[in-house]
Amino acid sequence: MAGAPVSTKPDPQETNTNQFAFQTDDPVLATSLEITSFLTYGDLEILTRMPWSSNQTFLVNVTQNNKTIQGVYKPGKGERTLHDFPPNLYKREVAAYKLAQTLEWDLVPPTILRDGPFGEGSVQLYIPCDYNKHYFTVRDNPNSAYEITRLAAFDLIANNADRKAGHVLVDPNDHLWAVDNALCFHHQFKIRTVIWDFAGTALPKNLLEDLTRFIDVDISQDLTDLLTNLEIDALITRTKALMKEKYLPSDPSGQRIPWPIL
């Protein structure tokens, strides 16, 4: 039953976070296609529940041919029912990755849809990172300005209703990754984000060209299988609006911020 809780033994909520078996090195896989194939067909082993997650989210080992990478598994059965979003939020995690891939923006870690120990869900490549680094620690770094601008544009067209600072990860190469993308793609405008410091920033020409290319090509079947027609239409409308404005908007209300912010 969707929305029903799942459990492991021992209780993952009682696991000491200092004992989490997080890998600290980058995955030894070369391409996104190789990673998504590995995540899709590798054997899943649940290690523990991820800390700080409202829905039931698990750190997993994914093993194939004596090679192991780590992923983040979000089963549909572990989701809490929301009054303003339909069920199966895990599909939106996959849709966010598909959108980023279509735009050719390396923002969202490879994410796939598959069956797992607790049923169907999403599995996303785990990104080794320093959890003391997040949006608020990198926003004033000039070297991060382009990536943050691109992320802000992505969240606007994806209609992200929950971009907390902690959902922006910094990997060992100082590359920014956007995770926890489940609350995206609603047909009603629900943007809630901490990234308002860049309001008024002009979108670089290459990002506008990427958005134009996205509008000009047919949306992949993968994306239409994950979203409703109404959500697809709203995605296209938001993209066209951002292309027309050519800069990041502001929030005059001051209310489009998620809580908690971190």
pLDDT of residue 28: 54
pLDDT of residue 217: 83
pTM of the model: 0.89
The answer, yes or no, to whether residue 2 has pLDDT greater than 60, is: no
pLDDT of residue 140: 96
DSSP for 46-66, please give it.
EEEEPTT-SS--EEEEEEETT
Where are the chain's structural domains? 12-245
Q: Across all residues in the chain, what is the average pLDDT?
A: 89
The answer, yes or no, to whether residue 23 has pLDDT greater than 80, is: no
Task: List C-alpha distances in Å: 245 to 135, 198, 239, 242.
Answer: 24, 15, 10, 5
pLDDT of residue 6: 42
Name the DSSP letter for residue 122. Answer: E
pLDDT of residue 52: 77
The least confident of 23-27, 64-68, 242-246 is 23-27
pLDDT of residue 22: 57
173-186 average pLDDT score: 97
Share of the chain above pLDDT 70, in %: 89
> In angstroms, rounded to a whole number, what is the distance separating the alpha carbons of residues 104 and 101?
5
Q: Which of 46, 101, 105, 37 is nearest to 72 (CA)?
A: 46
Share of the chain above pLDDT 90, in %: 79
pLDDT of residue 30: 64
CATH hierarchy code of domain 12-245: 1.10.510
96-125 average pLDDT score: 97
213-221 average pLDDT score: 85
